[in-house]
Chains A and B, each alone.
Chain A
Amino acid sequence: MREQPYEIVIGLEVHVQLRTRTKLFCRCSTEFGQPANTQTCPVCTGQPGSLPVMNRDAFQLSMKTALALHCQIPEFTRWDRKQYYYPDLPKGYQISQYDLPMSCDGWLEICDSQGVFDPKRVGIIRAHLEEDAGKSMHDETSGRADSRIDLNRTGTPLLEIVSQPDLRSAAEARAYLDELKLLLQYLDVSDCNMQEGSLRVDANVNLHLDEPGGVIATPIVEIKNLNSFRAVERALEYESQRQYEVWLEKGVKKGDIPKQTRGWDDQLEVTRAQRHKEESSDYRYFPDPDLVPVVVTPDEVERVRATVGELPAALRLRLQEEYDVSEYDANVIVNQGRDFVGYFVEVADASGDARRTSNWIQQEILRRLNELQMSIRQFPVTAAALAGLVKAIASGELDSSRGRDVFGRMFEHGESAAEAMQSLGIVSVDAGSLRSLCEGLLAENPRVVAEVKEGKQKAVGALIGQAKRLNPNVNPSEVREICLELIAQQ
């Protein structure tokens, strides 16, 4: 990539649908994919006289997430009304948080094991709890000019996580999103399903240009409609180049025009102008008189902090320190999720050979999981069984290529390593018969013996193939060792 004549400045807003059974302020189900408008009540459809009551679990899950993001939890927090008109917002306002969010001032560390960028801490301005809007669908059949509104999603709890504008490339933005999603999965606070809208991203981006008079900033653009992390990357790449071209052409600076909202078109891979964003004063935020504030004690914070558990960053370090796997390998293992790490740790502990375990699970197991689109929980080879196999290979009882045969058998028939070896007729060859097999080979191959004596140790390789044909259970390195020893004694 060529050196850019500008610096890209990116901040991300991520909306996470929390894993609760009911909505934030009423007890309607949040289950996805139900028939339209079958999960509503007077509260989430904004009927007069109805009263919202906060979902305890939604607040707890938010606090857990905020703590994992190293945020401060203020003692006092409250909810405000954000007013705007949109058909999918039946009350005419969204219950959100304005000046007293439930958490603020955190960070998330991102790193790149490929070394494209240096590790950095991305600041988190705030994470606040708010309600989702409904869904509008444009009806394109029969040329009708109506939109259809489904209010099932209205009122679903969302945690909005707002980063500082600390990201400096599309790659960093992608790494932030990957790490955040992994963290949310480890915390088990959301299913993080992008197709179902459980994770939604808006990106704020502008450029800093080094001009003779000092650094100049281009107007900030908020990009919406980003349906995948890939779309976020592409949109940021497109938008930064677009802003640079507009700068060259028009020279418009930040502050000259109001903040713009642009939508990402995934097909054409361009961003397009949307309505000008209302100023925040136009939302006329004010404290929602229907809800009471929440007061959080330090004890409560500590109680929730204790449920956070070991997180990806700490696990990566632990795997490197306690299991001696490389940074790259630790990344691969941790990025597969908590269950996968558990599997690795169990096999490594039981086999006593973490490096070999790491190789096996990254090669054979990851490959099969990917092929079968299966999770490690469903995998037919248990951790105990794999540990048996790793042990057999580590002790020299099995060589790696036969090890793969044994693994295949274990995978297909759910056998233990010992059972699979027995099924395949693999028995370890005792020292006496191995020695006599080698002696026989040397007697039949005087030319190889002569070559080895002349110093060409490689020649012994020809004997290994013959030995394997005579008895497939022999260990190649043992054959090699014994033959060389016997020749030296001659």
Chain B
Amino acid sequence: MKGCQVSLSLADVKKVAMLARLQLSDTELERMTHQLGQIVDYVNQLAELDTESVTPLSHAGELVNVFAEDKPRPGLSRAEVLSGAPKQDDECYRVPAVLGE
């Protein structure tokens, strides 16, 4: 990746905002483009290093193969799990209509 500099355009930020379901005003978009751009520039510093012979890491830790046995354990009660929802009917969460279209 040496020398591969990434920069961020307003259009990129608009798209990312859409994918994150964030509605940003024009002022906010501009501010975000600037701030996110700074983060990208910071990460771009890595491009100065020669990583040709370095194997990409999947995980910062060195652990592998962490498994749990397939034995059920009690979870949350329905009242507990629904308690944080803005809208619910004691059985299910209620959300604006999803019509599968």
Contact = CB atoms under 8 A, between A and B. Distances in A.
Given A21-B71, A148-B92, A295-B64, A45 B81 contact: yes
B11 to A, nearest CB: 14
Interface in A376-411: none
A20 interface: yes
In this complex, the member of A45, A59, A275 whose beta carbon has the largest number of chain B beta carbons within 10 angstroms is: A45
Contacts of B89: 148
Interface stretch (A9-17, A206-214, A281-289, A412-420): A281-289
Contacts of A225: 100
Interface stretch (A49-57, A320-328, A344-352): A49-57
Contact of A38 (B61, B78, B95, B101): B78
A287 B58 contact: yes
A36 to B, nearest CB: 5
B98 A138 contact: yes
Interface in B42-101: 58-61, 63-73, 75-78, 81-82, 87, 89, 91-101
B57 to A, nearest CB: 9
Given A35-B78, A138-B98, A287 B59 contact: yes
A292 B65 CA distance: 7
Contacts of B70: 20-22, 55-58
B85 to A, nearest CB: 9
Interface residues of B, number: 36
A57 B82 CA distance: 30
B56 to A, nearest CB: 9
A42 B74 CA distance: 11
Nearest to B89: A148
Nearest to B69: A56
Given A22-B71, A55-B68, A149-B95, A289 B60 contact: yes
A146 B58 CA distance: 40
A56 B98 CA distance: 34
Nearest to A39: B75
Nearest to A44: B75
Contacts of B69: 56-57
Given A37-B82, A83-B19, A275-B101, A42 B76 contact: yes
A87 interface: yes
Contacts of B98: 86-88, 136, 138, 147
A53 B97 contact: no
A212 B63 CA distance: 58
Contacts of B78: 35-38
Given A40-B81, A45-B81, A138 B99 contact: yes
26 contacts: A21-B70, A22-B71, A22-B72, A27-B71, A28-B73, A28-B75, A35-B78, A36-B92, A37-B91, A37-B93, A39-B75, A40-B76, A45-B76, A54-B66, A57-B69, A76-B58, A83-B19, A138-B100, A145-B96, A146-B97, A147-B98, A148-B89, A148-B92, A263-B101, A287-B58, A287-B59
Given A36-B92, A37-B78, A150-B91, 12 more contacts: A22-B73, A28-B75, A37-B81, A45-B81, A56-B69, A58-B70, A87-B95, A147-B95, A150-B92, A274-B101, A275-B101, A287-B58
